[in-house]
Chain A
Amino acid sequence: MIEFWLAALSLTIFLYVLLDGFDLGVGILFAFSRTERCKAHMLRAVSPVWDGNETWLIISAAILFGAFPMIYALLLGAFYIPLILLLCGLILRGVAFEFREKSRRLRPAWDAGFALGSTVATFMQGCTVGALAQGLPNIDGRFTGGLFFWASPFALLCGVGLCLGYSLAGAAWLVFKAEDDLRDRSYGQVKWLLVGVLLFLVAAFMFALRLDLRVMTRWIERPILSLCPLIGAVGVIAILLGLYRRTDYLPFTGAVLLFIAAFGTLGLSFLPYMVPFSITYVQAAAPPSSLSFLFWFAGIFVLPLTLVYTLVTYAIFHGKVGEEDGYQ
């Protein structure tokens, strides 16, 4: 039962990172588009799916609280400031998405809110993951670190890295979904963002070695980890091939592979710990009575239904979005 919930949580977090990743990335890139035509085109490429993407965050939080309350209490408390900023960023961007259409005078303000909210939310997620990889100082699930624990140089670097990563996914998504000018422009962005992401990966790797992070010893203990860079390399090749041949679906496929590689690396290095080297998932799990209560409806019925629903949404809104048609 514990393993079921661990698997479910990994899946929902991965789906969140992958799916909200590209639409947050589009939000970040939104700041760099000037014309209303271009902005509207960008929004059309994500508007059918962004809200559904964000529900995976709620579902992850619900599973974390229900199945691993100890982690929920520790992480949410320890990352107080980044989470508050993340939430405000998500609110601002979600509301801006809808209200920009309905307002005339305030439209520039909503646009700024959309780009700013997306960037802040992404940056905070990156910092959180970076700080978590460094290990959370805690005694018995109670945080003992400092106020700006989440803002260590390594964590900040990860924040910047995730902004680059999400932007890459966003640009690749635009290549996949958009047409004409926007698609061409996004090809250019994919190229530079890929360079940025690779530079970040090298920098983060060196930094982690220098900090002598304990997570890094996993590379020696667990040879299977080296599969992840391999998958990542395939992803990079796919993106390059896509750039070279102008095959619209390849950059996004490559970005997905990169995300799988990154997520796999983190997951495989953390296991069996949920907070590296202090709390394992067995220690963190709720008592069996809580887990099975949650399992018999939420686990076997609602979760699969949500997955199916996500697939259906993507199936309905498949294909390219043009500059004029559809969502206004």
Chain B
Amino acid sequence: MEWSPLILSRIQFAFTVSFHIIFPAFTVGLAAWLTVLEGLRMATGRPLYRVLFDFWLKIFAISFGLGVVSGIVMAFEFGTNWSELSLRTGPIQGPLLGYESFTAFALEASFFGVLIFGRRRVPAWFYFLACAMVCLGTSLSAFWIMVNNSWMQWPTGYAMTPKGVFVPVDWSAIVFSPVVWVRFPHMLLASYVTGAFCVAATGAWYLLQERLHAEGRAMVRMGLGLAAVLVPCQLLFGHLNGDYVHDKQPAKFAAIEARWHDEQPAAEVVLAWPDEKQEANHYSLSLPYVGSLIATMHLDSKEVGLTDFPQADRPPVVIPFFAFRVMVGCGMLMLGLAWLGSWFAAQERLSRRRWLLWPIFFSFPLGFIATLTGWFTAEVGRQPWVVYGRLRTSDAMTPFLTSREVTFSLILFAIVYLFIFSAGMTYIYRLLRAGPDVAPAELRGDTNPKRPLSVPGDAPGTQSTEIEART
């Protein structure tokens, strides 16, 4: 493979955006979880909820900080590497991404500070409001990003000038596009499920270590209980997403299904090794009729194959095909764990089921993997277009970039991200290992609203020695 500036720019964007999405995927869900905890505490007055709240707030703050830092890079990369895209779609993408910064900033600025250091300074109902507003802010952020990305998947509400610039003519068509309203809930649910499994896995960890019983049980029960309800909803929205892809992006759909030729009725390829050169699948395991059934709910519908599209308009097949299957696989695993775990938890028998606690403990990456592979499916499947059917990715990049420049920036980002990621993860890991502070002290008053990373006060070294001394 030749390392063209195009492929390097794509790798760089994929790398930085994948790194970034890990944190919002977690914090959007965590913000909702914190709101629920605070609401429960107000309703029941149980100190347990306060302990859990204080604990997860620290983890929220670090993830939030890393999400902000890595998000700044995204705001610039549209221009640095994809200047042709910015130039042509700027009148639409610019305001949408502008709204993302503005709404996120407005709600963050006003309420994150209250969340971090305002508990003693504001009435309880206002503190709860602040939680809800931070939750709303992170969700709105996700909303604008999804509006923007959905427009790239299925452009609407625009007119094209003779110079090839996309000009908005109908904002409500753009913002209320039907694609937005299946993809935004899909992303929101993904964040909630990801957060829920992280909470449940942490609880399972404590139960396996036979410490922090009350907190551990509450985390597992609440995390899995939420997931038991949300994962089925997520599967439903996943199906609706499939419908939009089927109707509006047939080439992507065919790539996900690894369907090379028109079929009627269509089979569903469960597993195979798709071969793009020979336009065929090797070692294929497929179920007859099921392909038609999944696509249209009929057993005999005709489904299009990739060879219907000119070679230049076909997406890569291997990545969407496998990414989609990994995503669905993670979804199924999470469904099984959530239902089984909730069943035992409801009967108060979970603490003794170590064979189940172990997989729950190891389930924490599932939500992240599913989110990432879902995005791989959506974005790689959209290729070779950056604005589907209208603007090719190869025509969207900064025309004068050279491989040397992009190699340099890619390596630099890799080093910097690796560095801050390991530091952030080490710190989160130490917080999780230390566990909730059972006798909650007030968060220190000198914490600054604009410095999310500064919230957890002590050096991790001191905490870990504390734990070792305790055990």
Contacts and interface: CB of A to CB of B under 8 A. Distances in A.
A53 to B, nearest CB: 9
B90 A65 contact: yes
Contact of B75 (A49, A58, A99): A58
Interface stretch (B335-343, B351-359, B364-372, B412-420): B412-420
B176 interface: no
Interface in A201-242: none
A286 B412 contact: no
A311 interface: no
A69 B451 contact: no
B293 to A, nearest CB: 42
Contacts of A62: 75, 97-98, 101-102
A69 B101 CA distance: 16
Interface stretch (B215-223, B275-283, B454-462): B454-462
A77 B83 contact: yes
Nearest to B463: A102
Given A91-B72, A290-B94, A73 B84 contact: yes
A73 B106 contact: no
* Of listed A51, A74, A87, A90, residue having the most chain B CB within 10 A: A87
Interface residues of B, number: 63
Contacts of B103: 302
Looking at chain A's contact residues, the main secondary structure is: helix
Given A59-B101, A65-B97, A87-B73, A73 B459 contact: no
Contact of A302 (B79, B90, B102, B412): B102
Given A76-B80, A326-B446, A58 B72 contact: yes
A95 B453 contact: yes
A81 B408 contact: yes
B59 to A, nearest CB: 14
Contacts of A49: 450
Contacts of A278: none
Interface residues of A, number: 68
Of listed A74, A76, A83, A102, residue having the most chain B CB within 10 A: A102
Interface stretch (B48-56, B203-211, B376-384, B397-405): B397-405
B198 to A, nearest CB: 21
B401 A80 contact: yes
Interface in B406-451: 408-409, 412-413, 416, 419-420, 423, 427, 446, 448-451
Interface string B214-238: 0000000000000000000000000
Contacts of B412: 84-85, 88
B416 A91 contact: yes
Contacts of A283: none
Interface stretch (A123-131, A170-178, A291-299): A291-299
A98 B79 CA distance: 29
A76 B86 contact: yes
Contact of B420 (A75, A95, A101): A95
Contacts of B456: 102
Residue of B81, B87, B95, B419 with highest tally of chain A CB at under 10 A: B95
A79 B398 CA distance: 11
Contact of A80 (B80, B92, B458, B460): B80
A200 interface: no
Contact of B80 (A77, A147, A289, A301): A77
Nearest to B170: A289
Contacts of A91: 69, 72-73, 416, 420
Interface in B382-401: 398-401
Contacts of B76: 61, 76, 83, 87
A116 to B, nearest CB: 12
A99 B449 CA distance: 17
B79 A77 contact: yes
Contacts of A72: 78-79, 86, 90, 94
Contacts of B109: 55, 305-306, 309
B87 to A, nearest CB: 4
Given A59-B105, A302-B103, A70 B420 contact: no
A286 B90 contact: yes
Contact of B167 (A73, A88, A287): A287
Contacts of B168: 287, 289-290, 293
B110 A309 contact: yes
Given A80-B401, A87-B73, 8 more contacts: A69-B91, A70-B90, A72-B78, A81-B409, A98-B453, A297-B99, A302-B105, A309-B109
Interface of B: 65, 69, 72-73, 75-76, 78-81, 83-84, 86-87, 90-95, 97-99, 101-103, 105-106, 109-110, 163, 167-169, 171, 398-402, 404-405, 408-409, 412-413, 416, 419-420, 423, 427, 446, 448-451, 453-454, 456, 458-461
Q: Considering the complex of A and B, which 3 residue pairs feature the smallest CB-CB distances, nearest first?
A: A69-B90, A76-B79, A77-B83
27 contacts: A49-B450, A58-B72, A65-B97, A69-B86, A70-B87, A80-B80, A80-B81, A84-B412, A88-B413, A92-B416, A98-B451, A102-B427, A102-B456, A102-B459, A102-B460, A103-B460, A141-B87, A142-B83, A142-B399, A287-B167, A289-B91, A290-B168, A294-B98, A294-B99, A298-B99, A301-B106, A303-B102
